[in-house]
Amino acid sequence: MLNREVIAIILGGGAGTRLFPLTKVRSKPAVPLVGKYRLIDIPISNCINSGINRMFVATQFNSASLNRHISTAYRFDSYSKGFVTILAAEQTLSSKEWFQGTADAVRQSLHYIDSYSHSQVLILSGDQLYSMNYAKMLRHHQENKADITIATIPVAAKDASGFGILKTDDKYVINEFREKPPQEELQGLESYVNEDLQKEGRVYLASMGIYIFNRKILREELANKDYTDFGKEIIPHAINNRKVISYPFEGYWSDIGTIRSFYEANLDLAKRQPAFDLYNPDMPMYTHARMLPASKLQSTFIQDSIVAEGCIVVNSQISNSVIGVRSYIGNNTTVKNSIIMGADYYSWHDRATRDFLVGADAPGIHDETYIEAAIVDKNVHIGKKCIIKNRDNVQEGEGPNFFIRDGIVIIPKNATIPDGTII
Extents of the domains making up the chain = 6-269, 296-417
Edge-to-edge strand list for the sheet holding 301-303: 301-303, 317-319, 334-336, 370-372, 387-388
pLDDT at 410: 98
CA 112, CA 92: separation in Å to the nearest integer?
13
Residues 6+ apart with CB under 8 A from 289: 73
- Which CATH class, in words, describes the domain spanning 6-269? alpha beta
The half-sphere exposure of 368 on its side-chain side, counting CA atoms within 13 A, is 5
Beta strands 317-319 and 301-303, pairing class:
parallel
Question: Are 116 and 54 spatial neighbours (Cβ–Cβ below 8 Å)?
Answer: yes
Number of Cβ atoms within 10 Å of the Cβ of 172: 21
Alpha helix stretches (DSSP H) within 154-311: 157-160, 195-200, 215-222, 235-239, 259-269
The secondary structure of residue 405, as a DSSP letter, is: E
How would you classify residue 182: left for phi > 0, otherwise alpha for psi between -120 and 50, otherwise beta? beta
Side chain identity, residue 122: L
Class of domain 296-417: mainly beta
Residue 312: the pLDDT is 98
Neighbours of 271 (CB within 10 A): 13
Do the domains at 6-269 and 296-417 have one common CATH topology? no
Q: What is the spatial distance between Cα 243 and Cα 26, in angstroms, rounded to a whole number?
A: 38
Q: CB neighbours of 63 closer than 8 A, spacing ≥ 6?
A: 12, 27, 30, 86, 88
Q: What pLDDT, on a 0 to 100 scale, did the predictor assign at position 98?
A: 61
Position 121 scores a pLDDT of 97
Residue 81 confidence (pLDDT): 86
Query: Taking the alpha carbons of 206, 36, 59, 405 in that order, is the dihedral positive or negative?
Result: positive
Residues of the chain whose pLDDT is less than 50? Answer: 93
Distances (CA, A) of 382 to 22, 342, 422: 17, 12, 11
Instruction: Specify the pLDDT at position 365.
Output: 98
| Contacts for 188 with CB less than 8 Å, ≥ 6 apart | 167
Can you name the residues that pair with 10 across neighbouring β-strands?
Answer: 57, 124
